[in-house]
């Protein structure tokens, strides 16, 4: 298997400048097609070189050998570049993930090899980000990119010898669940001041409360998707189709809009425009600690208060797990007290 006829090479023993001989040994697999190139290493004595070759070839023959050279030569920066072009490009959250990838590529870890990254590196990153005031959700999403990168590299790219550095670390605990729900007076003020900025904004915000639809789903909603009392969504966040029942109020809001061109969208505002307008509206209405996503939260809680079952609400809102659905549900304690009698 190994090549035994390689002559010694002359080298220098720094810093003394004394001449020495180093024995270079190659280890080849049997059959040789298992790796594209033989492995080589240098040793001070011929016996050490031959012993090393025998051990490596023994591992190869017993199918225990793992060729980690690609993992050692591929930097995190290079792997993320490939991940972005092959994996992120197919995700709905491509833009957000691109920002996280760039953040990793700008970090001190970017030029370390995939083989050399350790769980201690990820733990140090986690602690530094939390100390800098980043939210636990942000840190978890950043680490999720690296974790998925290693999964793809091992399974799809065939890079051997990888150990996912995120698997063994403690993930930061989730932030305290929001329980903020807008009052009826706050919603009236929101609709009033939103109309002063853009005439369709009050409709968008009220539809969010009436339907529990996401911002992107509302912005992409077309007239031909509304049939009878149901909106049939084709392109949702999780990639699955969903049917959303529409209340009488939701139907009235849609019917009050200018008629779109055949099959056209009801709204032409950009997603970021909606997000940027909402804080301005709240500021005008003197409302604090309220986010655009809280309107979907409010809609979800209202569905439970109307008596819908857990599975019925999940079908309407599109939450994939009950744990996710519970996170956005906070029933009114006053309504629960009324049920007690």
Query: Contact 208/215 with Cβ under 8 angstroms?
Result: yes
The pLDDT assigned to 6 comes to 46
Q: Among residues 28, 215, 302, 319, which one is catalytic?
A: 319
pLDDT value at 13 more than 80: no
Q: Among residues 237, 284, 327, 330, which one is catalytic?
A: 237
What are the domain boundaries of the chain? 9-65, 72-155, 184-340
Q: Among residues 214, 242, 297, 302, which one is catalytic?
A: 214
Give pLDDT tens digits for 112-132. 999 899 999 999 999 999 999
The pLDDT assigned to 338 comes to 63
Q: Among residues 100, 126, 296, 302, which one is catalytic?
A: 296
Q: Among residues 69, 148, 293, 327, which one is catalytic?
A: 293
The pLDDT assigned to 57 comes to 66
The pLDDT assigned to 3 comes to 42
Cα atoms found within 13 Å of the Cα of residue 110, Cβ hemisphere only: 13
Cα atoms found within 13 Å of the Cα of residue 278, Cβ hemisphere only: 21
pLDDT band (50, 70, 90) for residue 328: low
Calculated CA dihedral for residues 30, 33, 35, 36, nearest 10 degrees: 130
Give pLDDT tens digits for 202-257. 999 999 999 999 888 898 899 888 999 999 987 776 667 888 989 999 999 999 98
Query: Contact 256/203 with Cβ under 8 angstroms?
Result: yes
Place of tokens 């200018």: 258
| Residue 214 is among the residues annotated as catalytic for this protein | yes
Cα 55 from chain centroid (whole Å): 42
- Give the residue from 204, 253, 254 showing the smallest Cα distance to 224: 254
Query: Contact 326/318 with Cβ under 8 angstroms?
Result: no
Using only C-alpha atoms, the chain has a radius of gyration, in whole angstroms, of 30
| Residue 297 is among the residues annotated as catalytic for this protein | no
Assigned token pair, 66: 């793992």
Give pLDDT tens digits for 152-211. 999 999 888 888 999 889 888 765 566 788 999 999 999 999 999 999 999 999 999 999
The pLDDT assigned to 301 comes to 86
| Residue 237 is among the residues annotated as catalytic for this protein | yes
* 9-15 mean pLDDT: 41
The pLDDT assigned to 63 comes to 54
pLDDT value at 1 more than 60: no
Give pLDDT tens digits for 269-282. 888 888 899 999 99
Is 184-340 assigned to CATH 1.20.140.10? no
Q: Among residues 150, 266, 277, 328, which one is catalytic?
A: 328
Give pLDDT tens digits for 16-36. 333 344 555 555 555 544 444
| Residue 191 is among the residues annotated as catalytic for this protein | no
Give pLDDT tens digits for 67-76. 678 888 899 9
**pTM assigned to the model:** 0.58
CA separation, residue 237 to residues 91, 93, 177, 218 (Å): 10, 9, 21, 12
């Amino acid at each position: 298997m190994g090549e035994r006829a390689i002559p010694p090479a002359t080298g220098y023993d720094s810093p003394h400048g004394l001449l020495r001989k180093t024995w270079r040994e190659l280890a080849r697999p049997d059959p040789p097609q298992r790796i594209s190139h033989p492995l080589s290493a240098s040793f001070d004595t011929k016996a050490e070189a031959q012993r090393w070759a025998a051990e490596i070839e023994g591992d190869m023959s017993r199918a225990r050998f793992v060729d980690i050279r690609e993992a050692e030569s591929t930097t995190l920066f290079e792997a993320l570049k490939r991940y972005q072009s092959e994996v992120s490009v197919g995700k709905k959250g491509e833009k957000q993930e691109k920002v996280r990838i760039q953040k990793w590529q700008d970090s001190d870890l970017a030029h370390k090899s995939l083989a050399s990254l350790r769980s201690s590196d990820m733990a140090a990153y986690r602690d530094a980000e939390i100390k800098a005031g980043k939210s636990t959700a942000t840190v978890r999403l950043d680490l999720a990119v690296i974790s998925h990168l290693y999964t793809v590299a091992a399974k799809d790219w065939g890079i051997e010898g990888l150990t996912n550095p995120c698997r063994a670390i403690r993930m930061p605990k989730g932030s305290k669940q929001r329980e903020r729900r807008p009052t009826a007076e706050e919603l009236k003020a929101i609709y009033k001041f939103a109309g002063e900025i853009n005439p369709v904004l009050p409709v968008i915000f009220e539809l969010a409360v009436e339907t529990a639809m996401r911002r992107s789903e509302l912005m992409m909603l077309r007239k031909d998707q509304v049939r009878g009392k149901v909106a049939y969504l084709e392109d949702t966040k999780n990639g699955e189709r969903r049917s959303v029942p529409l209340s009488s109020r939701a139907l009235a809001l849609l019917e009050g809009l200018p008629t779109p061109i055949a099959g056209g969208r009801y709204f032409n505002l950009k997603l970021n425009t909606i997000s940027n307008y909402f804080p301005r509206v709240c500021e005008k209405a003197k409302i604090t600690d309220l986010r655009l996503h809280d309107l979907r939260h409010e809609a979800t809680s209202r569905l439970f208060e109307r008596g819908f079952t857990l599975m019925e609400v999940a079908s309407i809102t599109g939450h994939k797990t009950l744990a996710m659905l519970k996170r956005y549900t906070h029933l009114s304690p006053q309504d629960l007290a009324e049920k007690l009698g």
